[in-house]
């Protein structure tokens, strides 16, 4: 690799940094037969007792069509239950089963433990910095960001030249 990328891609750096952390948690999660997303959902329900699908989408950063599949697989595994709400027949409530509660009770502490290990390895100051700067990106109140105007679409793919 002779030279570095001249243009530094922020989204890509996020991806890389995220992986740098996640790779230390993934073994724990898969050890229990869960996927990363399934664990995120269990954690969220653990916090809120019960959640509606769209809330899970927002909390866990999962798009609705993905969530549908994840939830039905988790239902099959006996980890969650889905019940329609009486007041509003469109909405659904997702809850944990006792089995899932036991699972969370075992898995959760291990994640916390590994987190402490990572915090020491990376340095608590860096972790703190991360929280601060990520919050600035996420929670900041910004006006609407203008979208540059796009040229008329050409059919690159079909075009043979």
Residues that bind DNA (CB under 7 A): 26, 30, 35-38, 52-54, 61-73, 82, 87-92
The residue from 75, 93, 101, 122 that contacts its own copies (CB under 8 A) is: 122
Q: Which does 87 bind (CB under 5 to 8 A by kind): its own copies, DNA, none?
A: DNA
114-148: buried (b, 16+ CB within 10 Å) or exposed (e) per residue?
eeeeeeeeeeeeebeeeeeeeeeeeeeeeeeeeee
Q: What is the footprint of its own copies within residues 6-65 (CB under 8 A)?
A: 6-22, 24-25, 27-28, 31-33, 40, 43-44, 47-48, 55, 59-61
Residues comprising the chain, all counted:
161
| Cα–Cα–Cα angle for 132, 119, 130, rounded to 5 degrees | 15
Q: Which does 121 bind (CB under 5 to 8 A by kind): its own copies, DNA, none?
A: its own copies
Cα(82)–Cα(112) distance, integer angstroms = 28
Q: Which does 131 bind (CB under 5 to 8 A by kind): its own copies, DNA, none?
A: its own copies
**Alpha-helical runs (H) found in 23-149:** 26-31, 36-48, 53-60, 64-76, 98-122, 124-139
Asked if 146 interacts with its own copies (CB under 8 A), we say yes
Query: β-strand 50-51 against 80-84: which pairing, if any?
Result: unpaired
Asked if 77 interacts with its own copies (CB under 8 A), we say yes
Taking the least distance from each CB to its own copies, the nearer of 89 and 143 is: 143
Asked if 105 interacts with its own copies (CB under 8 A), we say no
């Amino acid at each position: 690799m002779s030279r570095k990328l001249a243009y530094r891609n922020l989204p890509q750096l996020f991806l890389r940094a995220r992986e740098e952390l996640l790779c230390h948690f993934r073994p724990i999660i898969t050890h229990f037969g869960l996927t990363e997303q399934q664990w995120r959902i269990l954690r969220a329900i653990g916090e809120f007792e019960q959640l509606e699908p769209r809330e899970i989408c927002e909390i866990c950063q999962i798009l609705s069509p993905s969530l549908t599949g994840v939830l039905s697989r988790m239902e099959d595994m006996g980890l969650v239950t889905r019940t329609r709400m009486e007041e509003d027949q469109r909405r659904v409530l997702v809850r944990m089963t006792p089995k899932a509660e036991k699972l969370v009770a075992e898995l959760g502490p291990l994640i916390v433990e590994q987190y402490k290990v990572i915090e020491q390895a990376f340095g608590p100051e860096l972790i703190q910095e991360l929280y601060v700067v990520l919050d600035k990106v996420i929670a900041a109140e910004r006006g609407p960001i203008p979208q540059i105007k796009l040229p008329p679409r050409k059919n690159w793919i079909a075009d043979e030249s």
